[in-house]
Amino acid sequence: MRTFEENFEPATLAVPVSKRDHIQGPYDASLTLVEYGDYECPACGAAYPQVKTVQSDLRDRLRFVFRNFPLANIHPHAEHAAEAAEAAGEQGRYWEMHDALYENQDALDDESLARYAVDLGLDTRRVIQEVVTGAHRDRIRQDFNSGIRSGVNGTPTFFVNGLRHNGPWDAESLVAELVEGSVRPA
């Protein structure tokens, strides 16, 4: 008779990482960490510095991918924050806005989003227009739907080398899973 663990197959990333994604680190890195996150989610805010530590520890061995999973029904500013990140990405500053949003998670109203655009030297009118009109709604929805297909039901949800990480998401646990998981196929 098989044990529960032998019968349990972890969820896999339904939509593979591609050049469409927002990626930090080498595209062909040997280790991959994908996060489905919400800029207004307190747990995602707590995970943010942990991910930074993982990136620092693994350096060029890691590619980090962030996909939008705004839980708008409980986080009223999450969708506009994701729109602002995508708008910044259109101007080549996605990761700078990503960091600004997590580092100022208690201020994600539209006025604050505009201030971050100014601080980053972006075309602020363009960012505001793209946020207000939902110019990146389809992309955000694609991320969200890929999360649903991958079994994401909350944030943050991490995938380590293509498999859902069900353990704690402190830096030490993520690094251990990334390194140990690299011996099995992604």
Residue 32 lies in a domain: yes
Is 8's pLDDT higher than 90? Answer: no
pTM above 0.85, yes or no: yes
Tell me how far apart the alpha carbons of residues 163 and 45 are, in angstroms, rounded to a whole number. Answer: 22
Residue 78 lies in a domain: yes
DSSP string, the chain: ---HHHH----B-SS---TTSEEES-TT-SEEEEEEE-TT-HHHHHHHHHHHHHHHHHGGGEEEEEEE---TTT-TTHHHHHHHHHHHHHTT-HHHHHHHHHHTTT--SHHHHHHHHHHTT--HHHHHHHHHHTTTHHHHHHHHHHHHHTT--SSSEEEETTEEE-S--SHHHHHHHHHHHTTS--
Convert the pLDDT of each residue in 76-91 to its tens digit. 999 999 999 999 999 9
Residue 3 lies in a domain: no
Residue 4 lies in a domain: no
CATH number at residue 165: 3.40.30.10
Expressed as residue numbers, the domain containing 55 is 11-179
Residue 82 lies in a domain: yes
Long-range contacts of 44-53 (CB under 8 A, 24+ apart): 44/102, 44/155, 44/156, 45/102, 45/105, 47/156, 47/169, 48/102, 48/103, 50/169, 50/170, 50/171, 50/174, 51/171, 51/174, 53/171
Is 4's pLDDT higher than 60? Answer: no
Is 111's pLDDT higher than 70? Answer: yes
Query: What value does the mean pLDDT take over residues 42-46?
Result: 98
Q: Domains in the chain: how many in total?
A: 1
Residue 95 lies in a domain: yes
Residue 2 lies in a domain: no
Residue 173 lies in a domain: yes
Query: What value does the mean pLDDT take over residues 62-75?
Result: 97
Query: What value does the mean pLDDT take over residues 108-136?
Result: 98
